Structure 1
Amino acid sequence: MAGAGALLQWLPLFVLTFIVSSQLVIFAGAQLPGTWELLVPNAGVASMHTAVTRFNTVVLLDRTNIGPSRKMLPKGHCRNDQNDEVLKRDCYAHSVVLDLQTNKIRPLMILTDTWCSSGQFLPDGTLLQTGGDLDGFKKIRKFRPCEANGFCDWEELTDVGLANGRWYATNQILPDGSVIIVGGRAANTVEYYPPRKNGAVLLPFLADAEDNQMDNLYPYVHLLPDGNLFIFANNKAVSYDHAGNRIVREFPPLDGGPRNYPSAGSSAMLALQGDYSTAVIVVCGGAQYGAFIERSTDTPAHGSCGRIVATEPDPVWQMEDMAFGRIMGDMVMLPTGDVLIVNGAQAGTQGFQMASNPCFYPLLYRPDQPVGLRFMTLNPGTVPRMYHSTANLLPDGRVLIAGSNPNYFYKFKAEFPTELRVEAFSPEYLSPDRANIRPVIEGIPETVGYGEVFEVVVSVSLPVVGIVEVNLGNAPFATHSFSQGQRLVKLAVTPTSPDGNGRYKISCTAPPNGKVAPPGYYMAFAVNQGVPSVARWIHVMS
């Protein structure tokens, strides 16, 4: 399929492509689905880490030890660091917050180096941010979001730090609202926030999954509905009982070689639904083994995807191929349950200036379709999004695309320069011809408890046909081609009941427990015939 990927790079926009039985079939006369728009021409920073807050703002975060950005801090605000390689007195912002209503940028002050760090939202909506390089190696930070016209900023914790330094680690919120911090370079351990008495706990699996190109970094961690963690590193996966610190089961290795950093695949857990007893994990793309070791920029990426039902008694990986070989792709759970795969390159590996042939074409992964029909090629972008790029679902259903800096410092004259533009990709469900069936949430509780039955009121221009779904999507922490903590939960709903004047009542049942939906803020989407509403934030708590 590598040849098909090369062909698709040159297809005009009026060609619609599908993959059928691993063969490329071309249907002329239709424009590729999806549209692109430029939101911010200059965000000031290249966002290595991105997270959407419940106030409909977006936190963009880069490393600090990088020299001048293109956004100054407020007058009189500077960071003094005698160990900084470039600026001992740094008056430039390395984090900003974006107001989605106005697309305006406000600089934030970050003190310690957040290079290749990790993060996760806490139950109260605070963004927890952990680790990094140099003076950030053992650091814990918080960002308590506020209204867009507020002045919230980063807080560096001084009374508590990490037990082990964490560089390239992964965070996941747990059913009780605490956060587990998994792995990192030379850290084959886990620890927790709030810190626990036993500090860092050895997890030998991470060492077992490591090879000489470090493919256990940024492990893929998913909270399963049984409360255990699915942890994937290199090409291996286990179910980990974090409460008892034991491996519950080992999954078969995934064919196709390593997938984690720096081999640059990605992973998502598909929507939880029904009785919530089934969890399906997908892992897609990656570099050919040895590309990082050999510093090869032109070794073609592979396009294989593995899919496994992690909750089955004897699960096996089901393999399928994307239209393109892809590294550094971001997998974004859409409100419908489909997955957008966007960003990345078709050759090389993760690392500074170690990839080539940008992959401009997003893919839509439709998990309910049969093998061979799950991938749809979408309208290509024009901005290369290479190393250190991100993708995040927005409350209005668009996907925010930011970052890309495959250079050690900010460099604007290069084959793949530092990228300060912020874009949004609109899936086909936001096309004008579907506006009449797009629901509007007129009423929804601000807070719901586990198992609570509650009512959602929506309005729709055209009469509703069938059932309107209500789906909860959280706000993950996106970095290095993996959205930490990402999940989508489809609620049990009753048939839609007309309430007059185009309004409908939907009776919903909240998730049963924190294993299905950890406590915190979620974007609640009403979905009518595959078209999602603008989300309303809802606080799920025990």
Structure 2
Amino acid sequence: MNVKLVLFAFLFGGLILLNDKTNVNALPALQARQDPGSTLGAFKIVGKSGVNAMHAVLVSPRKVVFVDKLENNALKRPDGLSALSSEYDLDTNTAKPLGIYTNTFCTSGSWLGNGTLVEAGGDKGDANYRSGIQTLRLYDPSVGDWVELEGIVPSNRWYPAMVTLPNGNVMILGGSTAATGVNRAEIDNPTYTIFPPPNGGPLTDTAFPFLSSLLPYNLYPMVHVIPNYEGKTQLFIFANQNGIAYDLDTGTTITTYPKIPGGIRSYPLTGTSVIIPLDPTDYYKPTVMICGGNKVYELTSPAEASCGRLELTTPNAAWEMDEFGGQGRVMPDATFLVDGSILFVNGAATGFAGYRKGGGANALWVNENPVFTPFLYDPFAKTYKTLAASTIPRMYHSVSTLIPDGSVLIAGSNPQGSVSLNVKYSTEYRVEIFYPPYLYSSTPRPNIISLQTSPINENRIPVSYGQEVTMVIQVKSDGGNQPVLKACIIHHGFITHSQNFSQRYVYLEITNFWADSSAADQYILTIKLPPNPTIISPGPSYIYVFNGDAPPVSGAQVLLQQAA
């Protein structure tokens, strides 16, 4: 295959439109809504992922792609070899194999602004699978499979971070050059790579010595674009217990933040992070929240029971700490719900990220005491609520992602080096859907009919920053009262190892709202999108309109780009 032609087609082929004929009106009724008295939500096991869900990414309203490392998964490719990636259909709850032929172990991913998914890095191969350690993989949703560009990443990347930049390119940041549990100087990779390369030519590494100062706990660094009105590419970058604001345009550190109290927050003492929902009414002021981790690299050490919040653009800001709802978690996942609340789920109460040591009766599990109960966090009231419990341990290599119908897909867990079944913590293929409490609400749910006159689930609808878009919705009256509507846009991100790369939630201004006389219970809205791509990254996102506490039947998938 001509790599240059493939690369050209992915990067410059124009808008990538997704053809998904799912009719949201035909989706089955949510199980959770049958019990309007519930306030705790509910889990339901719905299918099997085919491969362990080390990575997960929503690629269309009703499809999720999973990526695993090289191991003997039960799902087979057409050539008879075990699949390393699968596409999971949320309507049929079935998985089909995808074509990855290089080892994807402990990589990361993010979306290009044109709507192509990028995944980079990996590990050595074997007799059947090629090395993936300097491989870059591209997934085009309109094609529905992977293309692998081997050997183009300029250095080995193991446990890197990735983020979509405001210009639509992606940054690949940090990691190590060889497999390891804890990083060390001789294999440290304190550099970043921009893809596609800004000036053409081959990919190159740029030194980023801040990461070396955070050894040994600098793997899977946390990275978020900092919103600003000037359109500057400024990044919050954090590992271990320290973070900075970095201006990528000038290559300078503009702020050094105070050390976060409590334990270590990055791999393998793994915590998680989000930028809490951004709001135009306070000028998109960014606050980062970092939760969980551990204080000591010791398998019996209790997980860190604290979260810190930090206002990134406030001079001399200090960390505001809480007790993480009173439950320590290492390897938690943080997932935005449609109403702006944050679901903390998965993880262990003791230990650290990694594989069991030994086997049989003498095996030592380095992450233990799974936390079965999710917490619902209100980022404005700053309160936690304990929700209904799962029955499945979800520890190392687990994932969680919002689904556009307002539910949450949860999968994975494989705290061992190869597929092992019928052990204490088996390789986990079961997929669960969690129905949050708002899906039990008696408040009528909006049904989004169209956006910019286009049906919402046929293609990604192109929209631009600062644009006012027109949406038609149907929502039944509630006791004769008009609906009380809010709107948001969510970038669902790429989930692995408790990091959700580029995940972002932004409230949207509803600038006009009137009843549509042409149909009963139908309304027309105009909604204003964020002013620039530092607020939310370009590429695929979903616009939601929710009625009080009730999310829509499905969000509207869009491709957000700069105006031509």
Instruction: State the TM-score, normalizing by the size of structure 1.
Output: 0.85
Q: State the shift of 1:124 in Å.
A: 2.5
Distance across 1 between alignment mates of 2:118 and 2:377: 30
Distance 2:514 2:212 in 1: 54
How many angstroms apart in 1 are the aligned matches of 2:260 and 2:116?
35
Which of 519, 525, 528 is the aligned partner of 1:509? 528
Give the superposition deviation at 1:288: 2.2
Relative distance call for 1:31 and 1:335 in structure 2 (3 A) is closer
Equivalence for 1:329: 332
Match of 2:136 in 1: 140
What secondary structure sits across from 2:280 in the alignment? coil
Cα RMSD between the aligned structures?
1.6
> Any conservation in 2 of the 1:170–1:484 contact (CA below 8 Å)?
yes
2:514 aligns with one of 497, 512, 526: 497
Residue in 2 that maps onto 1:404: 413
**CA deviations over 1:444-467 (Å, ceiling 9, x no partner):** 122221111122121111245564
Deviations 1:79-129 (Å, cap 9, x if unpaired)?
xxxxxxxxxxxx111111011122121111211111110101122322101
Q: Report the counterpart of residue 84 of structure 1 in structure 2.
A: none
Q: Equivalent of 2:316, from 314, 317, 322?
A: 314
| Counterparts of 2:326 and 2:521, CA distance in 1 | 41
In 2, Cα distance between equivalents of 1:44 and 1:539: 29
Tell me how far 1:250 sits from its aligned partner: 0.5
What's 1:126 paired with? Answer: 116
Is 1:165 aligned to residue 156 of structure 2? yes
2:392 matched residue in structure 1: 383
Asked if 2 retains the 8 angstrom alpha-carbon contact of 1:467 and 1:496, the reply is no
Matches of 2:122 and 2:303 in 1, distance apart? 28
Q: Is the 8 Å Cα contact of residues 172 and 484 (structure 1) preserved in structure 2? A: yes
> What is the deviation of 1:32?
5.4
CA distance in 2, matches of 1:324, 1:277: 30
Q: 2:352 matched to 1:360? A: no
Once residues 250 and 511 of structure 2 are traced to their aligned partners in structure 1, the CA distance between those partners, rounded to angstroms, is 38
Q: Which residue of 2 aligns with 1:200?
A: 205
Per-residue CA distance 1:129-178 (angstroms, 9 max, x = gap): 100112211110111113xxxx63211114x6112211101110011100
Distance 1:110 1:103 in 2: 21
**Secondary structure at the counterpart of residue 326 of structure 2:** coil
- 89, 111, 114: which one aligns with 2:101: 111
Q: Is the 8 A contact 2:451 2:471 kept in 1?
A: yes
CA-CA distance at 1:196 after TM superposition: 4.3
SS at match of 2:211: helix
Following the alignment from structure 1 to structure 2, what is the Cα–Cα distance between the partners of residues 131 and 368?
37
Structure 2 residue 463 is matched with structure 1 residue 448: yes
**Partner in structure 1 of residue 144 of structure 2:** 152
Map of 1:44-443 to 2, 5 A cutoff? 44-54=50-60, 56-64=62-70, 66=71, 68-74=72-78, 77=79, 91-134=81-124, 135-146=131-142, 152-158=144-150, 161-185=152-176, 186-196=188-198, 199-211=204-216, 215-226=217-228, 227-274=233-280, 276-291=283-298, 296=299, 298-321=300-323, 322-353=325-356, 354-370=366-382, 374-431=383-440, 433-434=441-442, 436-443=443-450
Alignment check: 8 A CA contact 2:61 2:403 kept: no
Q: Determine what percentage of the aligned residue pairs are the same residue.
A: 35
Q: Secondary structure at the match of 2:331?
A: coil
Instruction: Note the alpha carbon deviations across 1:163-221, whole angstroms, 9 max, x for none.
Output: 2211101110011100011111211111110024682111111011113xxx1110111
**8 Å Cα contact 2:309/2:320 also seen in 1:** yes
| Corresponding residue SS for 1:301 | coil
Aligned partner of 1:87 in structure 2 is none
* Cα offsets for 1:66-86 (capped at 9, x unmatched): 2x2111111xx26xxxxxxxx
The residue correspondences of 1:457-536 to structure 2 (distance < 5 A) are: 457-463=472-478, 465=482, 467-494=484-511, 496-500=513-517, 501-533=520-552, 534-536=554-556
Cα 1:32–1:335 change in 2 (3 A) is: closer
Task: Provide the C-alpha distance between the structure 1 equivalents of 2:253 and 2:336, rounded to a whole number of angstroms.
Answer: 28
Q: Distance in 1 between matches of 2:65 and 2:537?
A: 21
Q: Aligned equivalents of 1:480 and 1:249: distance in 2?
A: 27
Contact 1:466 1:495 in 2 (8 A): no
Output one character per residue of 1:248-284: Cα deviation in whole Å (capped at 9) or x when no partner.
1100000012100000111111111115440011001
Distance 1:465 1:284 in 2: 39
Amino acid at match of 1:508: I
Alignment gaps of 5+ in structure 2: 1-36, 125-130, 177-187, 357-365, 453-460
Q: Which runs of 5+ in 1 are unaligned?
A: 1-29, 79-90
Per the TM alignment, residue 229 of structure 1 is displaced from its structure 2 partner at its CA by 0.5
1:538 equivalent to 2:548? Answer no
Aligned letter for 1:488? Y
CA distance in 1, matches of 2:347, 2:305: 12
CA distance in 1, matches of 2:265, 2:49: 30
Alpha-carbon displacement from aligned partner over 1:469-493 (angstroms, at most 9, x marks no partner): 1211112110001101100111111
Aligned positions, number: 478
